[in-house]
Structure formats: structure tokens, C-alpha cells
Amino acid sequence: MAISRRELITGAAAGAGGLVIGGVTGGLIGSSGEDGDGGGGGASTGLGGQADAVAKERNLAPEDVTRALKTFVPPGEQADEFFLFASGGHSGQILVIGVPSMRLLKVIAVFSPEPWQGYGVGADNDVILREGTNSSATPTSAARSPLTWGDTHHPALSETGGEYDGRWIYINDRANGRIGMVDLRDFKTKQLVDVPNLDSSHGGVFVTPNSEYVHISTMTPTLVDPTKAATALENFKTAFRGYSSFLAIDQANGKIDLAKSFQVELPPYTQDLADSGKLASDGWVFINSYNSEMATGGNMTGGKPLEVGASANDFDYLHIINWKKAEQVAASKSRMQNGMRVIPLDVAVSEGILYLAPEPKSPHGVDVAPNGVYLSVGGKLDPHVTIYSIDKIKAAIDAKDYEKMDEFGVPVLKLDSVVAGRVEVGLGPLHTQYDAEGHGYISLFLDSAVAKFTLGEPYFKGDEAFKLVDKLPVHYNIGHLVTMEGDTVKPAGKYLVALNKWSIDRFPVVGTLKPQNFQLVDLTGETMQILSDMPIGIGEPHYTQGIRADRIKAWEVYPVGTSPLTMARDSHAIDKGGEKVERNGTTVEVWGSVTRSQFKPDQIQAKKGDKVILHLTNIETTPDATHGFSIPRYNVNVSLDPGEAVTIEFTADAVGAFAYYCTEFCSALHLEMQGWLLVS
């Protein structure tokens, strides 16, 4: 008899299945807040019977048993309440992870070829990667060869009314200034965009509350005229510019429409993390920055090392952008630059689109609270989190309450006029997430900890506001963190995941390059408690968003003949019986079907130098009845999910007999599922 987790915890199944349940609710649930490194291993769990014996044998402390009960998913149950969509770092992909089980459910191929999904390995979806390197998008990109990797940092789920809606997800390539778009109907990448005027990117990505735009900005500023590279660093202030990009989203399919997009030109500071305003701050965008010193290094020629030069000032600048106004101004007062409408810096200032506010000590992260009023900024070298208020920002803008103009003529608001509170949280504060009760959770890189603090009114008043209330050590060197739906207008809270860069002693040694560590933290108790460690052995994930699993309405199978590129019937798709082969001069064109357990046709004749075009349709409608199609030596491996139609095109430049075969173990006669390409 199966006992569900709920029954086990509530004791509703007491006495069933040979487990003794008594004592579960006393002393066990909500026990010790230690992080599990402490003693107590092998102590009595209070479960009695078999469970006690297992706990003893495995040297588990009572709090470990609690952790297991909170995260275990029984075989066959789909008990994960949330999905994490995590950036895959250098892998260029997105990781999909279940919470609280922390099981890896999927890796979505975005910027890098991925053979299992048949992404970028010979199918017609190659076009996505190809178009993702656009040699005319930025001045400096002309010499680029097609890019086959990305450094994914910040995923952004689409939103409606400030809540995740489960339609699309976007992610940036920090290395190359690009953005990818994934359709969550089939969890596949549909578009990569090489964003004009961005040579690298960090800021964002995030969507505006109704997914009108997805925002992405430069990290290191872009050299506007690449022919001036030799003297560029000497003339840094005039030669380089930053760009805050608002990429328009086509509401029909989630794709980015560059013709409707625009950019706001920025000073050549290093624009860093960014976030979208919501509710009280809807219509605004915030970007933090560093290196307002505009240091360029030169450590071999008597200059200061870049990191020293870039942390000389006590303050950098929070960028405050009125995108609703910018949207109107873009229509009339922008210039075209590499195929993008750009609002020049002086116009952004004169039209009241761009403001700055001081941010202490090498800031990192800017995160808008659920009600849109507060925004938290960490300072890598400041033990405080600084909390700004949009009400104060708007009042300071109206009153022209400026401290000064920066070197580029942008008004700098007075710090005291725009800050609502400061909380001393610890060393190396970076990123903040929220719950619905008015708490912020901030990562502390140097402390290797998560600090929980309170916001001001209407959440907390008087002495209760802007206070540190809890701190939890994590392992180790935390970068981002995420609470469930914690950057929406309605956070679910409940769990937090700490994205730790170092794992040192947490996992068995697997060589010199160690996994990152995702730590699951329980937020439901008085104090935060670690529930589990999850090794991530693929790149360095930066950010992740956690969405309620029931918001995702993914397809089980494609309607037969669907091309994932269009999510519609492919013009070359066939149904059973529609198979044919046509030869036209030096072109061999095949319309084939794929089903358990045969390719039809299973023999294809070509002559050396022929162009071979294969249109294959998986005519199956059974969930999971996926076939692969590989041609050895031709660098082709395609996934044909049930219903999927794919086109493969290549020149038959190698002669011989090539046994194409199905690369998914699909059936008892899977091994027999093959055919011959004969090139004579």
C-alpha cells in the first residue's frame, strides 16, 4: 500500500504499510535548526520500528529525517510544487529543477548545441543558432564566427499583471550580448537575438509586468566606432556607451521584434544587474552600476589594476529609467544605430527619462519588492543593504532634488532624499528576494550566508522596520538566491534556494573542477533551515526563478506534423502513407515517416555531391514515443518527439554506405530501427 507524504506527516496512515507513525508530529517536525554538520547522527528519530533502524544504520539525526520527509517524493508521485528555471552558466543552457525534491528534470538547449534534443546538430533548428550570431548587430561583431556557446546568467519568465504566466522564458548570454527565447509549451528555444549595440550583457533580463518588453543592457560598455580601437581606452568617455534595451515581445508567440524595440543610451559606466518596477513603480526600470570611475586597467604600463581603479569611489550610480516615457520618445526622437532605435543620452536627460542615485561601495543587484515601493541594493564592499523607495525617488525627481549632474549631464538625486532604510546584514551583500510578508532575503557572498531582514511600511512599522531578523550560513560563497515567485507581485515564499559558487567539502571529490551547490532552504519556520544540497556539475548558474508548477501547461505530444520552429503543421509533414522520394537534377528529396520501429524509406540512394533533403515526421501520438535520427559521419543527430516534423539538409560529400539509425531506445525492435544512406 502506498502512503503519501501528506498522510505520513499528518499521521492519517498510521499503522499502514508496516511503518510506525507515532511520534512524527512531536519533537520531530520542526526540530533543530542546525545545518546538519553537527552531531546527533544515529540518534532516535522518534519514528520507531523500521524507520528508526534505517536512520541509525545511515547515521541520520532526527533533523535529517525531518528534512527527508519535507523533500522526499515517493516513486511515481509528481509532488514537486515548484519548478526552478536556472541559468546553466557556461553551458549556455537552462536547467529545470523540481522543488522541493531538487531533481533535475530537464536541460533546455539555448546557446550551445545539444545532441539529445537534436539542437544545432543538423536539423532545421540550426537556423536558431545561426541567426543568433548576427555580424551586423554590433559594430565590433563583424569578425565573429558563429558562436556555439553562451554564458547564461539571468532567466526571466514572462508575466501577466506582475505574476508569472508560464508562457515563455528569456535568458541572456553575458559573454556576447545576446538573448534567447524559450517557448514553455514544448520547452524549446525558438529564437536567439544578437542584440544591436551590445557586445556583452548583464542588466536584466527581466520582463515588464505585462511582458510588453524584455530588458537587457550592456555590461562593459560598447565601443561605438570599432575602427578607433587602438586609442579607444584613452578616449574612453567619448568612445564608449552603455545601452539599456527594451526588446518588444510579440504577444502571439513570445518572439522579440527588433523593429518595435528601442534602447536608451547610457554613460559608459559598467551597468550591472537590473530589475523592472511593478505596481507602485510600474513604468520604471532600475539598473545598478559599478566602475563609475571608468577605470580601464593598464597594470603593465604603470596604471592601476582594473579592480583597484574600479573601486576607488565611495559611490556608484543606480540608474533610474522611465520606460513608459522612453517608449513615446523613441517614436519621435531616436536615431537608428545598427538596426535599433536609440534614444541619445542628451535626449534621455532632457526628456526626463534617465536619472541617477548614489549607491554605496561597489554595488551589486537591485531588486524590487513585491509592492513595487522598495528596491534593495547590495554593496559588495558595504555591510549594509540600502533600500530605496520609489515614492521618495519620484518626489526627488519632481523637486529636482539633485546632488549634482554627473560628467555626462545626468542628474544625480540626493542619496538621503531617496533612501528609505539601511540594514546592516553582513559582508558582501549581493542579491535580494522577497516573501509576501515584507521580508527580504539577501545573499552575503563574503559571509557565505543568507540574511533575512524586514522592509518598512506597510509591512513593518517603527522599530520593527528595516531590521535584521535571521541569518543562515550556506556552503559556500553564495551568489544569487531565489524564493519561490520571489520577484513577482505575489511571492509564494516557502522555499529559498541558495546558489553557492563553491562546494569544497560538501560532495565527493570528482576532480579539480568542483560542482556548484544549490542549497534548498525551508522558509516556513521561525528560522531558516537548510533542507538539502544539490550538486550542479554543469557551468556556473547565476540566477534562477522559481515558479508554481501548476502555472506551466506544457504539451505532452505535438499534433502530428508540427514543426517546433513554428509550432504549426510543417508544410513538408506527412501522414502515414505519404512517404515518397523525388530526384530533381542533383537534389534528392525525401518525405519520410518515423514510427516504432521503422524509418520509411529505409534505403536512400544518392550520388556524391548531391544535395540531400530529408523531411521526417514522427507520426506517433503516444507520449514519450520519441525517436532519434542519426547519420554517422555526417554530424547529424535529430530528435523526433512524438508528432514532430524535422527537415535535414546536407551535401552528400562522403561516399559509402551509412547506416542511419534511431538514437532513442524506443521499442523492443529499436536496434532494428535503421536504414541505409548509399552515396556512390
Binding site for ligand CUA (CB under 6 A): 597, 627, 662, 664-666, 670, 673
Q: Are strands 163-173 and 152-160 parallel, antiparallel or unpaired?
A: antiparallel
Q: Which helix (H) or strand (E) holds 119?
A: none
Closer to ligand CUA by CB, 406 or 664: give it: 664
- In the block, residue with C-alpha cell 593598464: 298
Closer to ligand CUK by CB, 273 or 631: give it: 273
Task: Write out the three cell numbers for 250.
Answer: 510579440
Residues sharing a CB contact under 8 Å with residue 383, sequence separation 6 or more, in sequence order = 424, 425, 426, 427, 429
Q: Are strands 104-109 and 178-183 parallel, antiparallel or unpaired?
A: unpaired
Least Å distance between CB 430 and ligand CUA? 47
Helix (H, G, I), strand (E, B) or coil at 283: coil
* C-alpha pair distances (Å), 56 with each of 30, 31, 44, 232: 20, 17, 7, 66
Q: Choose the one of ligand CUA, ligand CUK, none that binds residue 543, judging by a C-beta under 5 to 8 angstroms depending on kind.
A: ligand CUK
Q: Which of 499, 503, 467, 471 is nearest to 483 (CA)?
A: 499
Q: Choose the one of ligand CUA, ligand CUK, none that binds residue 673, judging by a C-beta under 5 to 8 angstroms depending on kind.
A: ligand CUA
Residues sharing a CB contact under 8 Å with residue 435, sequence separation 6 or more, in sequence order = 441, 483, 486, 491, 493, 523
Q: Choose the one of ligand CUA, ligand CUK, none that binds residue 666, judging by a C-beta under 5 to 8 angstroms depending on kind.
A: ligand CUA
Give, as ranges, the residues between 625 and 654 that touch ligand CUK (CB under 6 A): none
**Please, which contacts does 234-240 make with residues 24 or more away whose CB atoms are closer than 8 Å?**
236/268, 236/294, 236/296, 237/268, 237/294, 237/407, 239/268, 240/268
Closer to ligand CUK by CB, 449 or 614: give it: 449
Q: Which of 60, 67, 41 is nearest to 531 (CA)?
A: 67
Least Å distance between CB 494 and ligand CUK? 22
Least Å distance between CB 545 and ligand CUK? 12
Closer to ligand CUK by CB, 154 or 548: give it: 154
Rounded (10°) CA dihedral 262, 207, 442, 94? -110
- Cβ of 380: how many Cβ atoms within 10 Å? 18
Least Å distance between CB 521 and ligand CUA? 42
Closer to ligand CUA by CB, 255 or 670: give it: 670
Using CB positions, name the residue nearest to ligand CUK: 479
Least Å distance between CB 178 and ligand CUK? 14
Task: Write out the three cell numbers for 495.
Answer: 522555499
Q: How open is the CA angle 619-662-582, to the nearest 5 degrees?
A: 60
Least Å distance between CB 195 and ligand CUK? 16
- Dump strand ranges (E) for 44-151: 82-87, 93-99, 104-109
Size of the site for ligand CUK (CB under 6 A): 12
- Dump strand ranges (E) for 587-644: 587-595, 598-600, 603-606, 611-618, 627-631, 636-640
Closer to ligand CUK by CB, 153 or 475: give it: 153
Give, as ranges, the residues between 116 and 135 that touch ligand CUK (CB under 6 A): none
Least Å distance between CB 304 and ligand CUK? 24
Q: Choose the one of ligand CUK, ligand CUA, none that binds residue 480, judging by a C-beta under 5 to 8 angstroms depending on kind.
A: ligand CUK
Q: Choose the one of ligand CUA, ligand CUK, none that binds residue 190, judging by a C-beta under 5 to 8 angstroms depending on kind.
A: none
Q: Choose the one of ligand CUK, ligand CUA, none that binds residue 664, judging by a C-beta under 5 to 8 angstroms depending on kind.
A: ligand CUA
Least Å distance between CB 288 and ligand CUA? 51
Least Å distance between CB 121 and ligand CUA? 17
Q: Choose the one of ligand CUK, ligand CUA, none that binds residue 133, judging by a C-beta under 5 to 8 angstroms depending on kind.
A: none
Least Å distance between CB 646 and ligand CUA? 14
Q: Determine if 542 is a binding residue for ligand CUK (CB under 6 A).
A: yes
Q: Choose the one of ligand CUA, ligand CUK, none that binds residue 670, judging by a C-beta under 5 to 8 angstroms depending on kind.
A: ligand CUA
190 backbone dihedrals φ, ψ, rounded to 5°: -110, -20
Closer to ligand CUK by CB, 434 or 660: give it: 434
CA atoms within 13 A on the CB side of 308: 7
- Dump strand ranges (E) for 466-515: 468-473, 478-484, 493-500
Q: Determine if 543 is a binding residue for ligand CUK (CB under 6 A).
A: yes
What is the rounded CA–CA span in Å between residue 454 and residue 470?
10
Task: Write out the three cell numbers for 192.
Answer: 536567439
Closer to ligand CUK by CB, 241 or 480: give it: 480
Give, as ranges, the residues between 466 and 505 that touch ligand CUK (CB under 6 A): 479-480
What is the rounded CA–CA span in Å between residue 94 and residue 156?
11
Cβ proximity of 149 and 90 under 8 Å = yes
Q: Choose the one of ligand CUA, ligand CUK, none that binds residue 439, judging by a C-beta under 5 to 8 angstroms depending on kind.
A: none
455 backbone dihedrals φ, ψ, rounded to 5°: -90, 180
Least Å distance between CB 560 and ligand CUA? 16
Q: Is the peptide bond before 374 cis (omega within 30 degrees of 0)?
A: no
Q: Which of 67, 190, 241, 364 binds ligand CUK (CB under 6 A)?
A: 364
What is the rounded CA–CA span in Å between residue 651 and residue 598?
24
Q: Determine if 90 is a binding residue for ligand CUK (CB under 6 A).
A: no
What is the rounded CA–CA span in Å between residue 55 and residue 61?
7
Binding mask 153-182 for ligand CUK (x = CB under 6 A): xx-------------------x--------
Closer to ligand CUK by CB, 323 or 445: give it: 445
Q: Which helix (H) or strand (E) holds 168?
A: strand 163-173
Least Å distance between CB 263 and ligand CUK? 20
319 backbone dihedrals φ, ψ, rounded to 5°: -95, 135
Least Å distance between CB 128 and ligand CUA? 25
Q: Choose the one of ligand CUK, ligand CUA, none that binds residue 677, judging by a C-beta under 5 to 8 angstroms depending on kind.
A: none
Closer to ligand CUK by CB, 432 or 598: give it: 432
Least Å distance between CB 600 and ligand CUA? 12
Closer to ligand CUA by CB, 81 or 664: give it: 664
What is the rounded CA–CA span in Å between residue 673 and residue 660?
9
Closer to ligand CUA by CB, 366 or 625: give it: 625
Q: Which helix (H) or strand (E) holds 226?
A: none
Binding mask 189-228 for ligand CUK (x = CB under 6 A): -------------x--------------------------
Q: Choose the one of ligand CUK, ligand CUA, none that binds residue 210, judging by a C-beta under 5 to 8 angstroms depending on kind.
A: none
Closer to ligand CUK by CB, 274 or 638: give it: 274
List contacts with ligand CUK (CB under 6 A).
153-154, 174, 202, 273, 364, 430-431, 479-480, 542-543
